A and B are shown apart, each in its own frame.
Chain A
Amino acid sequence: MTEHPLLDLAGASIGYDREPVLRQADLAIRRGEFWGILGYNGSGKTTLVKTLLGLLPCLKGRRKGRPLRCGYVPQKEKLDPIYPLTVSAVVAMGAWRGLDPFGLRSTDRLPSLVSRALEEAGALELADAPFSSLSGGQRQRVLVARGLVGEPELLVLDEPLAGIDIATQESLLALFRTFKERGLTALMVSHRVSAEKGLFTHVAWLEAGMIESGPAERMFSEGRVSQVFKAEL
């Protein structure tokens, strides 16, 4: 029996203010899959992810899926370094779920969860450092730790390799491969195709308002994304 998708878009038009960015989007994400959401800048990748997560309603069609415990790793440039936060404080935010204004439900587990997530992301030694003092690669690792700290069912990585040197990219890719090996369901948004090719089990290619999706093996051997992949190589 095929397992029900965690998230499912069927015949969906998605966009902002009644202006569709993508039309007729079909996408079903199942447990254990590692999706690459690929496309050029402005193709609607972030809009698709926001719709999948239920942050944007579909303009047409439907989105199905129960509420998930999501870990979100934003683009590091979106976070302003003016905030006087330590790395541990930034990571702890990933575990702030629901309404708990007085911190009544924060338990003794939080520090150990934060340490574990930092260790997993290879950033434990940064725990007490100010977030603003980190390099781009370090900041990205800390944000990955924040995505992991809430023990997510789905991890969403938004352009995690953008603006990072090659060596750090390689070590982050190695980290993401461990997520894939242990069966963590993940979505990774990227505007490149070649670097992360081996990471994905499935790929969605976004171009000119349309979406083409399927298993990575097939997508990289045929269709539009294979042409882009060959051109990038």
Chain B
Amino acid sequence: MSPSLLLEVLRPDFLLRNALYGCMTVGLVCPLVGVYFLLRRMVFWGVALPQVSAAGLSLAFLLQGLGVGWLAGTEPGERHLAIMGSAALTAAAILALVLLERRKAGFGEGRLGALYAASAGLCLLFVSWNPHGETAMLGLLKGEIVAISGHDLGILCGAFAVVAACFLAFQREFLLVSFDRDTAEILGRKVLLWEGLLYALIGVTVSLGVMTAGPLVIFGFLVLPAMAALPWARGIMSLSLLASLTGGASAFIGFLLSYAFDLPLGPVAVCLAAASLGLSSLLRLALHRR
């Protein structure tokens, strides 16, 4: 990679700037959510929810393809319906998982595995039944962010800015209800309210993120940067910032590599996030041996 490539990519009139900004936004913000997936030991939620969201998305596209739905016909309308389908199914899955967990019913990990398997199967079925746009949909599921429009990027950046602001502003509340629920209640926190907000932010991030980057990229950015940052953090703020920077850097370098070598952007970015986790583990091992 040459410096000229870097200059070219950073130019304001760069042709694929929307893809770069979209990928960076996902890379910077998803790890803020992923920190809580990791600390609350909900990593499997990070696998299952993006897949549920993708199933919602492909169902919405299928309905549009079949001519069902009042928003079908116009492109912005179709995108809105797709976002709604993705968000609705994600919200329903979160609600069901939380309720079952609170009742301590069944086997939690098995439930998430079943949810993942069912969503993945349904997602592929919805895509195969769709008379239109199967190629575009499959591209999305594989993590192709290149085609993101200015309008979609605007929605993504706006929503993710709110998500990031909430995670930074309400860090104390999210930490307290996650680390020690009983103490949070005794200290007068509305635990249900804060957990509700946390799950709502997770829902928004996953459904919008999947709509933009696909389930693989979202799962990767939810889990890998937070895992890479954890050994080096000395508090929740440093963990959040380190994870976010790791995600942002993986996204940016991933974009450069993808552009330079004509590789699919999503998988490259995820592999780089995984490499950052490997590097973090090796560095930790080396320091322990000293």
What separation, in Å, do the CA atoms of A74 and B179 have in the docked complex?
A: 12
1/0 contact string of B161-201 vs chain A (CB within 8 Å): 00000000110110110011011011110000000000000
Contact among A74, A79, A83, A98 for B188, CB-based, below 8 A = A98
Chain A residues whose C-beta falls within 8 Å of the C-beta of B175 in the assembled complex = 83, 93
1/0 contact string of A98-118 vs chain B (CB within 8 Å): 101111000000000000000
Look across to chain B and name the residue whose beta carbon is closest to the beta carbon of A17.
B103
B236 touches A79 (CB 8 A): no
Chain A residues whose C-beta falls within 8 Å of the C-beta of B186 in the assembled complex = 53, 55, 70, 72, 156
Q: With A82-B39, A86-B234 in contact, is A55–B185 under 8 Å at CB?
A: yes
A80 touches B188 (CB 8 A): no
Chain B residues whose C-beta falls within 8 Å of the C-beta of A84 in the assembled complex = 230, 233-236, 238-239
B39 touches A83 (CB 8 A): yes
A72 touches B234 (CB 8 A): no
What separation, in Å, do the CA atoms of A103 and B237 have in the docked complex?
A: 13
What separation, in Å, do the CA atoms of A8 and B290 have in the docked complex?
A: 58
> Quick check: is B41 within 8 A (CB to CB) of the other chain?
yes
> Quick check: is B29 within 8 A (CB to CB) of the other chain?
no
> Quick check: is B38 within 8 A (CB to CB) of the other chain?
yes
1/0 contact string of A57-84 vs chain B (CB within 8 Å): 0000000000100101010001110111
Contact among A53, A70, A101, A130 for B173, CB-based, below 8 A = A101
> Quick check: is A85 within 8 A (CB to CB) of the other chain?
yes
What separation, in Å, do the CA atoms of A79 and B41 have in the docked complex?
A: 12
> Quick check: is A15 within 8 A (CB to CB) of the other chain?
no
A101 touches B187 (CB 8 A): no
A46 shortest CB reach to chain B, Å: 9
Chain A residues whose C-beta falls within 8 Å of the C-beta of B235 in the assembled complex = 84-86, 89
Q: With A80-B39, A82-B39 in contact, is A93–B176 under 8 Å at CB?
A: yes
Interface residues of B (CB under 8 A from A): 38-39, 41, 169-170, 172-173, 175-176, 179-180, 182-183, 185-188, 230, 233-236, 238-239
Instruction: For chain A, residues 164 to 205, give those with C-beta under 8 angstroms from any C-beta of chain B.
Output: none
A158 shortest CB reach to chain B, Å: 8
Q: List 14 A-B contacts (CB under 8 A).
A: A55-B182, A70-B186, A72-B182, A72-B183, A78-B180, A80-B41, A84-B230, A84-B235, A84-B236, A86-B235, A89-B235, A93-B176, A93-B180, A98-B187
A79 touches B179 (CB 8 A): yes
Look across to chain B and name the residue whose beta carbon is closest to the beta carbon of A93.
B176
Chain A residues whose C-beta falls within 8 Å of the C-beta of B41 in the assembled complex = 80, 82
Chain A: interface residue total (CB-CB under 8 A): 29
Chain B residues whose C-beta falls within 8 Å of the C-beta of A102 in the assembled complex = 169
Chain B residues whose C-beta falls within 8 Å of the C-beta of A55 in the assembled complex = 182, 185-186
What separation, in Å, do the CA atoms of A82 and B169 have in the docked complex?
A: 22
Chain B CB within 10 Å, residue with most, of A67, A85, A98: A85
B289 shortest CB reach to chain A, Å: 18
> Quick check: is A96 within 8 A (CB to CB) of the other chain?
yes
Chain B residues whose C-beta falls within 8 Å of the C-beta of A100 in the assembled complex = 172
A96 touches B187 (CB 8 A): yes
Chain B residues whose C-beta falls within 8 Å of the C-beta of A97 in the assembled complex = 187-188
B162 shortest CB reach to chain A, Å: 14
B108 shortest CB reach to chain A, Å: 15
Given contacts A70-B186, A93-B176, A94-B187, 16 further A-B contacts (CB under 8 A): A53-B186, A55-B185, A79-B179, A80-B41, A80-B179, A82-B38, A82-B230, A83-B39, A83-B236, A84-B230, A84-B234, A84-B239, A85-B179, A93-B175, A97-B187, A97-B188
Contact among B39, B176, B233, B234 for A96, CB-based, below 8 A = B176
B287 shortest CB reach to chain A, Å: 15
Chain B residues whose C-beta falls within 8 Å of the C-beta of A70 in the assembled complex = 186
Q: With A84-B235, A85-B236 in contact, is A74–B176 under 8 Å at CB?
A: no
A126 shortest CB reach to chain B, Å: 15
B183 touches A94 (CB 8 A): yes
What separation, in Å, do the CA atoms of A162 and B187 have in the docked complex?
A: 24
What separation, in Å, do the CA atoms of A101 and B236 have in the docked complex?
A: 14
What separation, in Å, do the CA atoms of A196 and B112 have in the docked complex?
A: 44
What separation, in Å, do the CA atoms of A163 and B188 have in the docked complex?
A: 29
What separation, in Å, do the CA atoms of A101 and B39 have in the docked complex?
A: 20
A103 shortest CB reach to chain B, Å: 7
Contact among B170, B188, B233 for A101, CB-based, below 8 A = B170
Chain A residues whose C-beta falls within 8 Å of the C-beta of B183 in the assembled complex = 72, 74, 93-94, 146
What separation, in Å, do the CA atoms of A82 and B175 have in the docked complex?
A: 12
B184 shortest CB reach to chain A, Å: 9
Chain B residues whose C-beta falls within 8 Å of the C-beta of A72 in the assembled complex = 182-183, 186
Chain A residues whose C-beta falls within 8 Å of the C-beta of B187 in the assembled complex = 93-94, 96-98, 150
